[in-house]
Amino acid sequence: MDLSLEISNLSFNYGSKDVLRDVSLKVDGGEVLALIGPNGSGKSTLLKCVVGVLKPLRGKIAVGGVDLSKLSERERARLVGYLPQYLPMVFPVTVFECILLGRLPSFWTKPGKRDFEAVQRVLQSLNLTGFADKYIDEMSGGERQRVHIARVLAQEARVMLFDEPTANLDLKYQLDVMELIRKASREKEAATIIALHEVNLALKYADRVAVLNGGEMVCEGRPEEVITREMITRVYEVKADVVEYDGRPRVLL
Amino acid sequence: MSDAYSKILRRRFFFITTLFFLPFLLLGISLFVGSARLSFLEVYRIIVSRVFPFFGTNVDKASEYIVLNLRLPRVLGAVVVGAVLAAAGAVSQAILRNPLASPFTIGLSSAASFGASLAIIMGAGILSYQGGYTYTVTNELLVIVNAFILCMLCSLIISVIAEVKGSNPTLMVLLGVAIGYFFSAGTSIMQYLGEAEALKSVVMWLLGDLGRVSWRYLLWMTPAVMVIPILVAIGWRLNAFNMGDEVAASLGVNVKRLRTVCIILVCFMTAATISFVGVIGFICLIAPHIARILVGNDNRFLVLASALVGANLLLASDTIARTILAPMILPVGAVTSCLGGPFFIYLLLKSRRMHWT
């Protein structure tokens, strides 16, 4: 079965301002792609186009060969899961309810046995079982992020999109979250895109890295090929060293 | 299903069941109190004789009239109006993602008031002149129709602007506030122009009175009640709004359409109740928050629990309004706010945790 996500010649603009220009990208099932680039380079916009929050101006997005623009919102939601950067949760719910919400694309009025089982599985694999009845606003930022990732996993979508999932987390949880996403991507063979600011995390966890700058795809490939001193100077406009440590390149600022 | 979650569910079913049966008790008390002294037994004999005619033994005709045509519609009206307004409040809070939202914050009370003032003071409702042809409508009906139409006009304005500008929840609240001020100004101008007698009628209307409820009005309110099960059924979809429009969209919810449909339903529910009984405020804000404390924020339970809390609250308030200074009947809207305010503050202070952030 073809589980890949294929984005071809995607363009988007907000009014007169071009945000994405002819972006093409392919992510295979089980593969983790880190999307890096400076602020305003179009990373979030790209993810929002894929999930269907924004309507692209041109271009095609296909999952397993199926054109997403031909699907209903619900059918699309069964294929693509998404975690935005900001979650304006006003009315806190329990961990269980939060994760159960991820099952929404597969039921109408009330969740069934299969939905509860899916939530249970995710709770177990993320060691959240003990937290099931805890209110989400009573948890730390790191634990909360785990719950939101669990929600995306419970959706059991073929494509998973994460917009800066490590922002505002301490070191331990940054690694924890990246580890979690990579593991889930492998297990479910889901094509995964993570928009990231931290290039070292991209080096450590991504199978491939794509660099966006000013709405255009600058380069794309294996982390050690893409993340070079020249690229960082050119794209981020800062001086940085890329050194080899423990067999992998690391960026020193 | 997880044990922890089953525990939560059991707790919710317990509260909802309790809230469901409480009105029957309150109804008994409420039917019993009033200026005409009737015993418990008498009241129930009258009702039983109506439900099961073959039991119909000799009941006093006057008492029967008081119970069946004065008290029963009134207390049922309290239940219906309370339930509908509270459910509308819960839904507006969900779709606008705002704990301060209620049908009244999106300008509906002002719109209804303006419609009613227009009818009372100018004696000229929107429906009375059509093609230069004057329809004769009874005055009360004119007030109702006017209030209703102005409320629905509100929903039209909000949904058209949402269609053009995008359905941003904050935008909708601000719009509602602006519309509210606009109609309030209209009401003020009406009052300034009005005669003293008409002014008094407007003020009376604005206070809200369940005594206006008749069997006919109850019948007309039933469509609004029928919206409640629909809202409960889409409870999970409403939950999706809680995590923001982007997550809701990623979960397959058509955010814009659902929000507009809900706004229209909220306007309809509010219009279909306050047009008959006047502006009975606060219940649509306070009942959902009490329900949140009892059953949490899952809208599938919250909407129903809010409706039940609203029914109980308004019924209790009305009973108090009728008895506390009997034979004088206080305006139920004022009594609701008077008692509900301190009660709400008490709950907020006592509550273990905040149910919004």
- B247-270, pLDDT tens digit by residue? 999 999 999 999 999 999 999 999
**Average pLDDT, rounded, for chain B:** 86
Residue that has been written with the tokens 């099931």 in this structure: A132
pTM: 0.91
| Interval B11-45: pLDDT, tens | 899 999 999 999 888 887 888 777 667 777 777 77
Q: Write down the pLDDT at residue B56.
A: 57
Whether the predicted pLDDT of B88 surpasses 60: yes
Name every chain B residue with its beta carbon within 8 A of the beta carbon of A74. Answer: 252
Whether the predicted pLDDT of B2 surpasses 70: no
Q: Write down the pLDDT at residue B203.
A: 83
Q: Write down the pLDDT at residue B201.
A: 79
Nearest alpha-carbon partner for B313 in B1, B22, B13: B22
Nearest alpha-carbon partner for B40 in B52, B55, B30: B30
Q: How far apart are CA B242 and CA A104, in angstroms?
A: 13
Q: What is the mean pLDDT of residues B216-221?
A: 93
Chain A segment 157-176 residues within 8 A of B by beta carbon are none
Strand partners, A244: A249
A90 close to B (CB below 8 A): yes
| Interval B320-348: pLDDT, tens | 988 888 778 888 888 888 888 888 888 88
Nearest alpha-carbon partner for A107 in A66, A67, A154: A154
- The answer to whether residues B172 and B162 touch, using CB atoms and an 8 Å cutoff, is yes
Whether the predicted pLDDT of B162 surpasses 90: no
| Interval B304-317: pLDDT, tens | 999 999 999 999 99
Question: Over the Cα atoms of chain B, what is R_g?
Answer: 21
Top-confidence residue, B4 or A204: A204
Distance of CA B220 to the CA centre of its chain: 14
Alpha helices in B57-212 (DSSP H): 61-65, 72-96, 108-117, 139-165, 169-193, 196-207
Q: How far apart are CA A31 and CA A220, in angstroms?
A: 14
Whether the predicted pLDDT of B57 surpasses 90: no
A79 close to B (CB below 8 A): no
Top-confidence residue, B46 or B145: B145
Task: Choose the closest CB to A104 out of B99, B252, B356.
Answer: B252
Give the C-alpha distances (Å, rounded to integers) separating B249 from A78, A81, B254, B264, B313: 12, 10, 6, 20, 36
Top-confidence residue, A67 or B2: A67
User: What DSSP element (H or E) covers A146?
Assistant: helix A141-154
Whether the predicted pLDDT of B178 surpasses 60: yes
A111 close to B (CB below 8 A): yes
10-residue mean pLDDT series, chain A (253 residues)? 89 89 94 94 95 93 94 94 90 93 91 92 91 90 93 95 94 94 94 94 93 93 90 91 84 85
Domains plus CATH for chain B?
3-350 (1.10.3470.10)
Task: Choose the closest CB to A110 out of B94, B300, B355.
Answer: B300
Separation of first and last alpha carbons in chain B? 28
